[in-house]
């Protein structure tokens, strides 16, 4: 397979709306990239450190995956983006010939820096990880590598250079990612800084990169505040970013999150591509699609798999009071049926719940891999179902089949 | 795949010698079982707790594997052989429709009991694991489960019942596995006990099992002593075991091991199938094949893979003073070639040394899985090369191509 990936093929990035719903902001679209076309709405799976944990890439492809995401932050620290570039880019490195999305690295720096921003964004808890962020200036963010302790200053320009080295198809401007508990004033100042950083990112890729081919998304900040979101959106609309990534704090509750996402998406140029950063529960996806979000990324489907949780429709759970199928549960000890009778994934075609339960009890890593295959396949099936429903403009009608389930 | 495994198909176990070398005791053979035919000499891969660590079963098949081994000891404790039987047997449980080998459970009990018998057999070191063996009597061995501490008495009859539940194609009589440092008197008494236990195993399967179909191997004991090995072999020859498994202490050095194996194999009925328990370095295999061994099992190819070591021919190592390709080594940091240029395994067709080095450094479990695929493929290629050489009676001529390498 390696030799196939060395081919040179370029195509201008282009987002195309195939069908606009008449009932909501939902739309069916196509994202054309040098590494193929993504049918949207789509889910982007996290290959954080250049791999989806435990899975040979064939299983990622075989489960219907269109696009994966790697983290500039982790790859910058190890093995280094220069090394990946010298090896032919990230596609070749991890042997994936489809589209790749990378983030700017900013999120992880601030997440590790402040504790856990991720939890805060979702309004859950304040983490207590070791803080590695040293200083944020107008120029960029200084932090210590979690690998060897060396001092690194990440600037918008460096983030672009890293993402250009990696040669991802969709890339993200560096922003300051603020936690929920900060003041409106801090949020406003931070949003202004993120605008300046996005502008520097745009300048950098136009000067040194292939702007037409690597789509740079502007991160939309502003927390839960309408006026700040409006200002951030206006800035992005006024510049020639090919798309947008909604980031920053989305509030304390699910309901507040849906409102902030809908409000923000509504402020953005309807013709351009919109990504929602780091959110991907099944209900969240339905709400996001209704608001006009085209792609989602989230570690949940594979992370929960490693802890033994399988994504299934509510009606497939024997105990309706449960929210997920936790295969650690002794209810599955002697259950020789597949995770889902209706699922055509490799895992469901090959193994039983009892077998996976055994692997979990025996602490065998294969358990996480097998459930990941199922969860990836299931998320792709969900997105495919959503696209089919949008063809008929009947999103709400199919929602009850999937909705209110397990994430 | 699961539905395929529910078919009922039975065939009498039969070992057939296709060609006998004129230069040594080596022979080319076929082992016919209810789950297919094994071309010998063959390597048996360890699916200890009903899985080859990290690998979906397709990769085990796709790497040319003919037969796998699971441990009655681990499966008896978890999930229990009764559960596996109720689910349709071990083939169905782990979704493998080829031949399966199980051991008696004895080895692990004594290994955990005495410390580490495995290290002692290979003359390396004396382990210091927590001892769980409580008592060995004429009836059997009492030990505590490492999972829940419950008291278990494993008898030859119970070991047979477990292996009958699992429905493996090749099974092993329970023996007392003694460490190297014990006296000749203890070895003699223990060998006598193992004979009586083997006889009870034979009686048990004839009475309650399918003796014609599940091949019961007698374990040959007697340590390094010619007269004791002779007595153990004679007993096995005189009874209708379909094959033999050479076990027990094989001495302190590789050279002594080769002598003990050759001597013991030579005492056994030439027409019957011979397995060498737990030995599988490349040099060991060449020596074993010369002595008339038909199958080998060893955890090394997959265990070393999880630690980053890939099996390659010596000439494929850049540093000829090394013995193995340790992909943790920084020499591979920016090496974008595959593990082996000549290898057609999935890993070598898909990924570079640099990528696997990165995964090892990032402590990603995928590294172990990918190297396991390569090592399994390589061991199967080695055995296939050995069989091809035996077709032409030119084993020694091809040995230099593989010999004196890395295990």
| Rounded Cα–Cα distance for residues B376 and B189 (Å) | 39
Residue B251 pLDDT more than 80?
yes
Q: What is the pLDDT of residue B123?
A: 44
Hey, is the C-beta of A58 within 8 angstroms of any chain B C-beta?
A: yes
The whole-number average pLDDT for the span B228-246 is: 98
**Contact list, B6 vs chain A (CB under 8 Å):** none
The whole-number average pLDDT for the span B236-247 is: 97
CB within 8 Å: B87 and A346: no
Edge-first strand order for the sheet with A133-136 is A133-136, A141-144, A151-154
Interface of B with A in 78-97 (CB under 8 A): 78-79, 83, 86-88, 93-95
**Contact list, B362 vs chain A (CB under 8 Å):** 49, 74, 78
Residue B161 pLDDT more than 50?
yes
A238 catalytic? Reply is: no
Residue A300 pLDDT more than 60?
yes
Q: What is the pLDDT of residue B113?
A: 66
Token reading at A42: 């789509």
Q: What is the pLDDT of residue A111?
A: 77
Instruction: Name every residue whose Cβ is closer than 8 Å to that of residue B149 and which is 6 or more positions away in sequence.
Output: none
For the ranges A108-122, A209-223, A234-248, B31-45, the lowest mean pLDDT is seen at A108-122
Q: Spot the catalytic one: A165, A284, A294, A297.
A: A297
Tokens 């200053």 identify what position?
A: A153
Local structure of residue A250 (DSSP, 8 states): -
Question: B352: nearest CA in chain A?
Answer: A93
The CA dihedral of B305, B309, B311, B314, to the nearest 10 degrees, is 180
For the ranges A256-260, A323-327, B316-320, B361-365, the lowest mean pLDDT is seen at B316-320
Residue B184 pLDDT more than 60?
yes
Q: Spot the catalytic one: B103, B175, B284, B335.
A: B103
Residue B122 pLDDT more than 70?
no
Min Cα distance B111 → chain A (Å) is 19
Hey, is the C-beta of B344 within 8 angstroms of any chain A C-beta?
A: no
Min Cα distance A350 → chain B (Å) is 5
Hey, is the C-beta of A328 within 8 angstroms of any chain B C-beta?
A: no
Whole-model pTM?
Answer: 0.93
pLDDT-based confidence at residue A105 (cuts at 50, 70, 90): confident
Q: What is the pLDDT of residue B261?
A: 98
For residue B355, give the nearest of A93, A357, A362 by CB distance: A93
Q: What angle do CA A122, A126, A132 make, to 5 degrees?
A: 110
Q: What is the pLDDT of residue B69?
A: 98
* Dihedrals phi, psi of B151, to nearest 5 degrees: -80, 130
B343-366 tens-digit pLDDT: 999 999 999 999 999 999 999 999
Residue B21 pLDDT more than 90?
yes
Neighbours of B208 (CB within 10 A): 12
Q: What is the pLDDT of residue B9?
A: 60
Long-range contacts of B83-88 (CB under 8 A, 24+ apart): B83/A333, B83/A334, B83/A354, B84/B50, B84/B165, B84/B166, B85/B165, B85/B166, B85/B167, B86/A334, B86/A336, B87/A334, B87/A336, B87/A352, B87/A354, B88/A336, B88/B5, B88/B6
pLDDT-based confidence at residue A131 (cuts at 50, 70, 90): low
Q: What is the pLDDT of residue B208?
A: 97
**Contact list, B349 vs chain A (CB under 8 Å):** 1-2
Hey, is the C-beta of B343 within 8 angstroms of any chain A C-beta?
A: no
Q: What is the pLDDT of residue B404?
A: 57
CB within 8 Å: A78 and B361: yes
Hey, is the C-beta of B369 within 8 angstroms of any chain A C-beta?
A: yes
Mutation target to probe the A interface, by most A beta carbons within 10 A, among B337, B345, B365 is: B365
Quote the percentage of chain B above a pLDDT of 90.
79
Question: B334: nearest CA in chain A?
Answer: A83
ipTM of the shown complex: 0.93
Mutation target to probe the B interface, by most B beta carbons within 10 A, among A328, A350, A373 is: A350
Mutation target to probe the B interface, by most B beta carbons within 10 A, among A355, A357, A363, A377 is: A355
* Cis peptide upstream of residue B269 (ω within 30 degrees of 0): no
The whole-number average pLDDT for the span B133-146 is: 89
Mutation target to probe the A interface, by most A beta carbons within 10 A, among B1, B2, B92 is: B2
Residue A147 pLDDT more than 90?
no
For residue A83, give the nearest of B83, B94, B334 by CB distance: B334
Hey, is the C-beta of B362 within 8 angstroms of any chain A C-beta?
A: yes
| Rounded Cα–Cα distance for residues A236 and A261 (Å) | 16
CB within 8 Å: A373 and B56: yes
| C-beta separation of A6 from A92 below 8 A | yes
pLDDT-based confidence at residue A120 (cuts at 50, 70, 90): very low
The whole-number average pLDDT for the span A77-91 is: 97
Residue B259 pLDDT more than 50?
yes
Domains (ranges, CATH) in chain A?
11-298 (3.20.20.105), 306-395 (no CATH)
Local structure of residue A130 (DSSP, 8 states): P
The helix (H) or strand (E) run that includes residue B286 is helix B282-290
Taking chain B, what is the end-to-end CA distance rounded to the nearest angstrom? Answer: 35
Q: What is the pLDDT of residue A2?
A: 46
The helix (H) or strand (E) run that includes residue B361 is helix B353-361
Residue A122 pLDDT more than 50?
no
A&B contacts, CB < 8 Å: 126
| Rounded Cα–Cα distance for residues B323 and B302 (Å) | 17
The whole-number average pLDDT for the span B130-158 is: 88
| Rounded Cα–Cα distance for residues B349 and B341 (Å) | 9
Quote the percentage of chain B above a pLDDT of 70.
91
A151-193 tens-digit pLDDT: 999 999 999 999 999 999 999 999 988 776 789 999 999 999 9
Closest by CA to A49, choosing from A84, A74, A67, is: A74
For residue B355, give the nearest of A86, A94, A373 by CB distance: A94
pLDDT-based confidence at residue A322 (cuts at 50, 70, 90): confident
A189-248 tens-digit pLDDT: 999 999 999 999 999 999 999 999 999 999 999 999 999 999 999 999 999 999 999 998
Closest by CA to B191, choosing from B248, B265, B109, is: B248
For the ranges A13-17, A313-317, B261-265, B279-283, the lowest mean pLDDT is seen at A313-317
Residue A127 pLDDT more than 70?
no
Question: A74: nearest CA in chain B?
Answer: B362
CB within 8 Å: A78 and B362: yes
Q: What is the pLDDT of residue B191?
A: 95
A297 catalytic? Reply is: yes
For the ranges A337-341, B69-73, B178-182, B297-301, the lowest mean pLDDT is seen at B178-182
B195-209 tens-digit pLDDT: 999 999 999 999 999
For residue B369, give the nearest of A54, A355, A359 by CB distance: A54
Residue B338 pLDDT more than 90?
yes
For residue A333, give the nearest of B57, B79, B349 by CB distance: B79
CB within 8 Å: A349 and B53: no
pLDDT-based confidence at residue A8 (cuts at 50, 70, 90): low
**Contact list, A353 vs chain B (CB under 8 Å):** none
B63-82 tens-digit pLDDT: 999 999 999 999 999 999 99
Compare B407 and A400 and report the one with higher pLDDT.
Answer: A400
Residue B26 pLDDT more than 90?
yes
């Amino acid at each position: 397979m390696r030799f196939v990936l060395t081919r040179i093929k370029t195509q201008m990035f282009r987002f195309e709306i195939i069908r606009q719903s008449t009932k909501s902001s939902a739309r069916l679209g196509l994202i054309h990239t040098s590494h193929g076309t993504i049918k949207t709405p789509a889910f982007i799976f996290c290959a954080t450190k250049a791999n989806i944990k435990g899975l040979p890439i064939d299983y990622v492809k075989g489960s219907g995956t269109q696009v994966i995401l790697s983290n500039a932050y982790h790859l910058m620290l190890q093995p280094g983006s220069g090394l990946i570039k010298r090896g032919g880019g990230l596609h070749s490195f991890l042997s994936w010939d489809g589209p790749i999305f990378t983030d700017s690295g900013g999120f992880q720096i601030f997440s590790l820096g402040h504790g856990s921003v991720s939890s805060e964004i979702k309004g859950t808890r304040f983490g207590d990880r070791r803080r590695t962020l040293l200083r944020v200036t107008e120029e960029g963010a200084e932090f210590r590598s979690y690998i060897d302790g060396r001092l690194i200053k990440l600037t918008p320009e460096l983030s672009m250079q890293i993402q250009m080295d990696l040669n991802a198809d969709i890339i993200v401007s560096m922003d300051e990612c603020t936690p929920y508990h900060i003041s409106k004033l801090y949020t406003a100042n931070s949003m202004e800084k993120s605008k300046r950083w996005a502008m520097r990112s745009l300048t950098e890729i136009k000067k040194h990169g292939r702007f037409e081919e690597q789509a740079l998304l502007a991160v939309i900040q502003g927390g839960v505040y309408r006026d700040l979101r409006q200002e951030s959106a206006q800035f992005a609309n006024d510049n020639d970013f090919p798309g947008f990534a909604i980031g920053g704090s989305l509030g304390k509750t699910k309901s507040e999150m849906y409102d902030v996402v809908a409000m923000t998406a509504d402020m953005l140029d309807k013709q351009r591509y919109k990504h929602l950063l780091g959110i991907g529960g099944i209900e969240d996806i339905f709400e996001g699609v209704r608001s006009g979000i085209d792609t989602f990324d989230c570690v949940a489907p594979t992370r929960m798999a490693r802890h033994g949780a399988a994504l299934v429709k509510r009606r497939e759970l024997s105990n309706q009071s449960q929210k997920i199928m936790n295969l650690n549960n002794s209810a599955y000890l002697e259950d020789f049926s597949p995770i889902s009778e209706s699922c055509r994934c490799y895992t469901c075609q090959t193994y039983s719940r009892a077998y996976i339960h055994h692997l979990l009890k025996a602490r065998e890593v294969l358990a996480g891999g097998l459930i990941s295959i199922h969860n990836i396949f299931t998320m792709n099936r969900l997105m495919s179902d959503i696209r089919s429903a949008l063809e008929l403009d009947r999103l709400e009608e199919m929602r009850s089949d999937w909705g209110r389930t397990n994430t």
